[in-house]
Amino acid sequence: MNIFISFQLGEVEVSNLTIVVLAFFSSFTFLAVGISSYKLYKSLINDDDK
């Protein structure tokens, strides 16, 4: 039983593991940018004069 199914993308054959790793890093980057944008937005809205 071969659990590493590969996808054919044009002439390039990509394994399942590669797609999972790319999806993980993409979602991690998306989450990091979202958190950073949220903190920037909160700092612009927060108008505390200390």
What distance in Å separates the CA atoms of residue 41 and residue 43, rounded to the nearest whole number? 5
**Is 1 a domain residue?**
no
pTM above 0.75, yes or no: no
Which residues on adjacent β-strands are paired with residue 7? 14
What pLDDT, in 10s, does the model give residues 16-50? 888 889 999 999 999 999 999 999 999 888 866 55
**Is 50 a domain residue?**
no
**Is 20 a domain residue?**
yes
What distance in Å separates the CA atoms of residue 28 and residue 33, rounded to the nearest whole number? 9
The average pLDDT across 5-21 equals: 81
Domain range for 15? 6-45
Domains contained in the chain, number: 1
Residues in contact with 45: Cβ distance below 8 Å, sequence separation at least 6, in sequence order: none
**Is 35 a domain residue?**
yes
pLDDT at residue 2 tops 60: no
